[in-house]
Structure 1
Amino acid sequence: MDDLECDVRPILAGGGDPFGAIMAAVSRLVAGQRLRLIASFRPEPLYKVMASKGFASNSTPLDNGDWQVVFSPLPVSDPADPETWPDPAGYLDCSELNLTDAQNSVLAALALRLEGEVLFALFAGEPLPLYAALKAHGCAWVGDFDEAGAAYRLMIRTGRV
């Protein structure tokens, strides 16, 4: 399948904002198709937007000073299968906090994450009261005690926080 090309250099040269054209191109992609973006600068602000839509990026400078960025769709992960989750995007040590403060810290950290991102949290014991709040926010989680049994490790995949 061919890449869909979106050359935004004319929009930029005219002083316009290419975001609408880029999102229109994204909406025309078929399953598994890549978007090849050509711009007059490296569009770093776009990387996080496209990552939240499930795309990896590969940027290449062109000989004339312009940039080509290929956005490739990431494999769809199964929220119920931790083996398909992305690597944690954040780490939170709650091992010194009481359960209420630990829960508040986790929920605050999750609110800063994009849907589908993973947070790794460490607790002094299993945070049983936290599970109801995670379920209410549409999160998935998996956890266990470390080898020594001294700390509880919890990986949380964000839902609709």
Structure 2
Amino acid sequence: MTDFIDVDVRPILRAGGEPFSIIMAALERLEPGEGLRLLAPFKPVPLFDVMASKGFAHRDAELEGGDWEILFKPRDGSLEAGEPAPVALSDDDWPEPAVRLDNRDLDPPEPMVRILASVERLAPGQTLSALLSREPVFLFRELSKRGHQWRGGFTPQRDAYQLTVKVLA
């Protein structure tokens, strides 16, 4: 049975705030095997891809009054009906990047546009590395649609997000 840490973003959103960093901070505090219970005033569909890329499956339910409860639990190898299987790539499957980009000084959507254009010029199996000023949440869905794999995370200094994209198709 999975233990869940509760994150209620409804007050943050009502106050006009952006809860993404709060959700990611809670995710970093999870112990192995723990999950995240998110309470939100809407179904946060873009977050599903982000969490899947981090190894979490989800189950959502609309609550009385129109709010949503989303349970994110670590994938343990057993997939629930309808869940896509994660693509497992070892470090050996990730060659040195053929292209390196520094997009930290660019305003959205330019980092995403630049990364997608550069990835399209790579051959299958090649990788691209990019530094960004924030986690590229909306880029993940586009990369999946185009048949690419990615991995990423904040640098140890937390001053940049390091993204590596592998062309699979």
TM-score normalised to structure 2 length = 0.49
- Which position in structure 2 is the counterpart of 1:113? 148
Aligned Cα root-mean-square deviation (Å): 3.2
Matched, 1:39 2:74: no
Matches within 5 A, 1:10-29: 10-29=11-30
Which has the larger Rg? 1
SS at match of 1:114: strand
Paired letter, 2:74: P
Unaligned runs of 5+ in 2: 78-83, 88-121, 127-142, 152-163
Paired letter, 2:85: P
Matches within 5 A, 1:12-161: 12-75=13-76, 86=85, 106-107=124-125, 112-115=147-150, 161=166
Identity of aligned residues (%): 42
Q: Distance in 2 between matches of 1:44 and 1:28?
A: 22
Q: Distance in 1 between matches of 2:60 and 2:149?
A: 22
Alpha-carbon distance change, 72 to 87 in structure 1, aligned in 2, over 3 angstroms: closer
Aligned-residue offset at 1:64: 1.2
SS at match of 2:148: coil
Aligned-residue offset at 1:42: 0.3
Aligned-residue offset at 1:105: 6.3
Aligned-residue offset at 1:113: 2.1
Contact in 2 for aligned 1:52/1:114 (Cα 8 Å): no
TM-score normalised to structure 1 length = 0.51
Unaligned runs of 5+ in 1: 77-84, 89-103, 117-158
The count of residues paired between Structure 1 and Structure 2 equals 97
